C-alpha cells in the first residue's frame, strides 16, 4: 500500500472496514479456513471483537507491518482509522506496527510464523506485540 499524494502528519488516511465478529467466532473461522501462514485480516477492537477485513474490507487491509511505522491505528468507538505519524511523500509505502496479540505460549513455530524482516533500525524481529 503506497501513498499516491502528499500526506500530512496526523492526517486520517484510511478506515479499516470489514465485518465485526467476536474473537471466538474469528478463531473458529480461522481454524476452518486452514490458513497455515498465520495470515488474517483481523483487527482487534478493545471490546473483544475483531474487524474481519476479508469480509467487506477496504484497502487498509493491505497495509504492511513495520517496527518503525509511518502510520498508526486509532480506534474511535467501534471504528478504526489509520493516521499518519509524520509527513509522508507520494510513493512511500504505508506501514503500521501490527503489535499482534496471540493466545497462549509464544512457541518457536509461532515466532517463526510472525517473524519481522522490516529492516528498520529498531526492528524487534517480530510482528507480535512487545511483551
The Cα 118–Cα 92 span in angstroms is 14
Each residue 103-122 as x (binds Zn ion by CB under 5 A) or -, in order, gives -------------x-x----
- CB nearer to Zn ion: pick between 28 and 86: 86
Separation of alpha carbons 59 and 120, rounded Å: 24
Interface map 20-59 toward Zn ion (x if CB under 5 A)? ----------------------------------------
- Among residues 9, 101, 123, 129, the one that binds Zn ion under rule CB under 5 A: 123
CB of 67 to Zn ion, least distance (A): 3
Give the nearer residue to Zn ion in terms of CB position, either 52 or 98: 98
Q: Are 61 and 53 spatial neighbours (Cβ–Cβ below 8 Å)? A: yes
- Rounded CA-CA distance 50/19 in Å is 8
Antiparallel, parallel or unpaired: β 95-96 and 64-65 = parallel
Residues that bind Zn ion (CB under 5 A): 67, 116, 118, 123
Amino acid at each position: 500500500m503506497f501513498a499516491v499524494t502528499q500526506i500530512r502528519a496526523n492526517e486520517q488516511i484510511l478506515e479499516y472496514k470489514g465485518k465485526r465478529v467476536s474473537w471466538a467466532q474469528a478463531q473458529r473461522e480461522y481454524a476452518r479456513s486452514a490458513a497455515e501462514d498465520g495470515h488474517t485480516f483481523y483487527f482487534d477492537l478493545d471490546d473483544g471483537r475483531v474487524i474481519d477485513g476479508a469480509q467487506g474490507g477496504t484497502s487498509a487491509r493491505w497495509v504492511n507491518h513495520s517496527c518503525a511505522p509511518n502510520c498508526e491505528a486509532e480506534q474511535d468507538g467501534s471504528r478504526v482509522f489509520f493516521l499518519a505519524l509524520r509527513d509522508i511523500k507520494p510513493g512511500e509505502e504505508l506501514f503500521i506496527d501490527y503489535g499482534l496479540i496471540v493466545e497462549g505460549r509464544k512457541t518457536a513455530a509461532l515466532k517463526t510464523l510472525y517473524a519481522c524482516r522490516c529492516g528498520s533500525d529498531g526492528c524487534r524481529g517480530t510482528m507480535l506485540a512487545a511483551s
